[in-house]
Amino acid sequence: MRALLTFAFLACTAPFVAHAASVETGGPLTDAQAIASAESAAPAAVAKDAEIVTFDAQGNMRTIRKGTNGYICMPDTPESPGPDPECVDKGGMAWTMAWVNHKDPPKGVIGFGYMLAGGSDPDNMDPFATKPAPGMQWVTTGPHVMLFNVGDLVKDYPTAKQPDTSKPYVMYPNTPYAHIMVPVKP
């Protein structure tokens, strides 16, 4: 899910920063660009009523558009090699904020998220990696959904450093941030 704020900070919030340079303009994303990017993360029926947020370089969250359906969508961050906008429910946002702040995710709160544009992560094992380890590549996952805070339920899923992203797998196994990545066809 993701990846994806300066790069040491950006590594923690990379999937969610829209202050970064846009690929097209070389400057900050406009609110319209951020909304379009964020909406690409989820099915239109979800995205059209979702709250859209961005994070600045200091980690402050800014709401671009209020939502009405309980989902929060964040635009792509240009720092990663591929698109990675994300849209999560309330439980997914609780997990995300715990990850961003290096805190344990809340107990007993399952979360769900969409990344229908795909995602790029520097490391499948280290939730705070800023780049792939020497000799390794970015973990690139096509369109997928995520199940957060699933605890021991991940035990039956693959936990490879370079996972087969065409099948369900665990991202960040053996950490409080372990979650199941499920590829989908958009």
- Spatial distance between the Cα atoms of 57 and 125, rounded to a whole number of angstroms: 25
Domain boundaries, the chain: 7-183
Query: What is the sign of the dihedral through the CA atoms of 155, 116, 108 and 172?
Result: positive
Does the pTM surpass 0.75? The reply is yes
* pLDDT tens per residue, range 116-162: 999 999 999 999 998 999 999 999 999 999 999 988 888 889 999 99
